[in-house]
Structures are given as C-alpha cells and as structure tokens.
Structure 1
C-alpha cells in the first residue's frame, strides 16, 4: 500500500542540484517502492484529462528556456505503461471523467525533476496526466477520487505543482521566506489537515495573500487531485516545508 503525494517540484535547476530538499526527495523515494507512478503535472494543461499511452521510453521534455547547457543534457528515461494507463482510463470512465490518450508526449520537468531525485534509476513505469487549471478545487478533488484505493495495488499517485508559485514575486538572494508566502501556506496546511474542502474551494477569497501566492492556478490544482486520490480516513501529513527565492514553496503532503 502506498499513499498519494503532493510534491512541490521546485525550479528546473533542482535536477542538477544537491540540497536539503533534493535529499528529502531521495529519502522519500526510498520510503516507497511502487510498481508504477501516476503523476499529474502542472506543466501539462488541457480541458480534457489526457494521459501518456505508451510502453516505450518517455522523452525527457525541456519545457523551459534560458537555463545552463547542462539542463538540456539531463535524461530521465523512464518507460510508460499501457496497462497502467488502461487501468486509469477505466477508473476515470466509471467516475464520469472523460480522458484522451496522448501517444507522443514525454515527461515535462513538472514530473522528471522530482522523480530524478526520488527514483534516480528511472526503473519504475510512469504515466503522466494533464491538469485543467480552471476547474474548482472541489472538481479537482472529484477527479482525484476516481483513483482512491489505487495505492493498494502499489500504484503511487503524485500531484506535482507548487502551493506558492509567482515568478513575478521572487527574491534570488533571500535567506528567509516572505511572510505572505508563509501565511498562505499556514492557511492551506490548516484547511488540508482538517479536510475542509468547503474553505479550500473558496481559497481565493478566504486564504491570506491568495492572489499573490497563486496568480494562476495550474501549479496549485495538483494539490487537490492528490488529496482526492488519497485515503479519506487518514489525516493528511505535511512531509516537508521549505522555500526557495523567498517565496517558491516546496510544501509536500502525504494523503
């Protein structure tokens, strides 16, 4: 049995860095050894839920620009899994969630950066899924619920995003997190641990500094997909909390 996870996937540069957060991800990967990984990536947006559908090696997608050359040499050659994709399709269909197969897309950095630290050998099959950023938290949670119990089959569900993600509001030389980022995450942690979906659904009006922390929701919604995928009878756990550049949150949950 494996839980569902929400992972802050951090900056792409984390792929070639060793720090406290990358070490945490490595330790997290040692804790769980799934037979397959299902990961919702903030960097794949679509109105219809799409999923990679192949048994072949998934391309390492460099969906960023202006980074050092070494960032375009990193490879994460995980294979996909048609069998797992079909299990997901069946679960989503039974729960009224429309899906679409994607035959060519590889893993974007929303997936492979964290997975490179968690499972560096790339020896676990991965199915990546898209997100629809403009569905409400309740609707994201409902989509995630289609995967409840899949951890019993040793399939790890991961929501990959960031709770505080504002690229116009970061401070490269910051040594401490900004108070606004901390206050937003404090509110999120409290409501998630209480499973207060009513408040979470209204986070834009209730959470402090919500518009500053989440100017666009694509990185935020994987939290609710992961939350919905987890065991409703188990209290959510904060696994890690840290910040880069004063605001970029590395908050991680286990569900």
Structure 2
C-alpha cells in the first residue's frame, strides 16, 4: 500500500536544479514504488473534474515564459492509462462528482517537473486530473476521499501545488524565508499534523497572512485533495519544508 502525497512543484527550473529540495524529491521517488500515478496539478484548471485519458505517450506543455532554453526541450515520455482513467471516473461518480475525459492534453509543468525528479525513467503510467479552485475546501477533500481506495492497489495519488504561492512577493536575492510566509505555513502544518479538518476548511478566515499567502486557491487545492485521499486512521506526516526566494515554499506531506 502506498501513501498519498502533496508536493510543491516550485518554478520549472526545479527540473534542472541541484539543491536540498530536488535531492529530497529524488529520494522520495526511490522510497515509493507505485504501479501507476494519479496527479492533480494546479496548472490544469477546469470547472468539471477532467481526467486525462491519453492513449500512448503524453505530449509536453511548456506553460511558462522567459526561462532557460533547455527547459523547452525537456521530455517526460510517460504513458497515459485510459483504463485507470475510466476507473477514476467510476470512483468519482460514486461520490456524485461529475467528471469528463480529455484525450489530448499533455503534461503541464506542475506534473512533469515533479515526475521527472521522482521517477526519471518515465516508466510508470500517469493520469493527470484537473482542479477547480472555486469549490469549497470541503468539496476538494471529498474529491480525494472518492479515490482513496487507489492506495490499496499501489496507485500513488500526488497533489502538486504550493502552500505559499504569491509570485509578487518573491525576492530573488533572499536567503531566508519571510516571517509572514513561515507563519502561514506553520499554522497550516500544525493543523494538518493534528488532522484538524474543521479549522483547515476555514483556513482563509483563521490562518495568519492567508490572503497574502494564497491570493488564488488553485495551488492549495491539491493539498486538500491529497489529504482526502490519504490513509484512514493515520496522521499526516511532514516530510520536507524549505524555502526559495523568501516566499516560495517547498513543503511535502505524506497522508
């Protein structure tokens, strides 16, 4: 049985960097050996939950501008799994969650950057799923709950997003995290480790600096989905916490 995880995907340059966080992700991939991967990425937004049902190898989406040229030639030739996509649709339907298939969309950088670091051989089938940032956090959690039996088949659910994600606050010269960013993350971490869902669902009202840390919720949504898909009766575990550029948080949780 594999856990579910939440990872911060950072900027696309993470794919070619060598630092504490990339080393962590590489080691994490070595420690979790799934038969397939289901990844919810903050860069795939749809009103209706959309499941990639790609036959064969995914195309690449370079959904960023002004970065090093080598990033635009990177490939992550993972195969899709229409069979798993159909299974996911059935599981969501059991929770009255509407969904649809997409047979053409490639992997965006919220997916391939993380997968490239964790599973560089690209030999594990991948199904990419969209997020809807306008749903309540309770509903996001229910989307995770709907598919929480996947772990029993050694299918890894990954939520790929970020906790603090405000690009306007990035300081390229910073060597330490900003106090306000850490305050927000520490509140979130404390409530997650206690599995205090009641307070987590109200994070926007209760967490310090919430509006500043999360101007839009698309990057935080994968956290709640991953949380919902975790192992029942097991408390979440913080696996990693670090920062880059003052406010770009690299946090990973196991559920």
TM-score band by shorter chain is over 0.9
SS in 2 for 1:77: coil
Give unmatched runs, 5+ long, in structure 1: none
2:156 corresponds to:
156
2:237 corresponds to:
237
TM-score, normalized by length of structure 1? 0.99
1:180 and 2:195 are equivalent in the alignment:
no
**Separation in 2 of the partners of 1:96 and 1:45?**
19
2:35 corresponds to:
35
2:198 corresponds to:
198
Counting matched residue pairs gives 255
After TM superposition, what 4+ stretches of structure 1 lie above 3 angstroms from structure 2? none
**Separation in 1 of the partners of 2:153 and 2:20?**
31
2:47 corresponds to:
47
Per-residue Cα deviation, 1:48-74 (whole angstroms, up to 9, x for no partner): 000110231001110111112111011
TM-score, normalized by length of structure 2? 0.99
SS in 2 for 1:168: helix
1:71 and 2:71 are equivalent in the alignment:
yes
2:132 corresponds to:
132
TM-superposed CA distance for 1:16, in Å, is 1.1
**Separation in 1 of the partners of 2:55 and 2:84?**
10
**Separation in 1 of the partners of 2:90 and 2:20?**
39
TM-superposed CA distance for 1:127, in Å, is 0.2
2:92 corresponds to:
92
Preserved CA contact (<8 Å) 2:55 2:103: no
- With 192-201 and 31-40 compared, the bigger mean Cα shift is at 192-201
Superposition CA RMSD, Å: 0.7
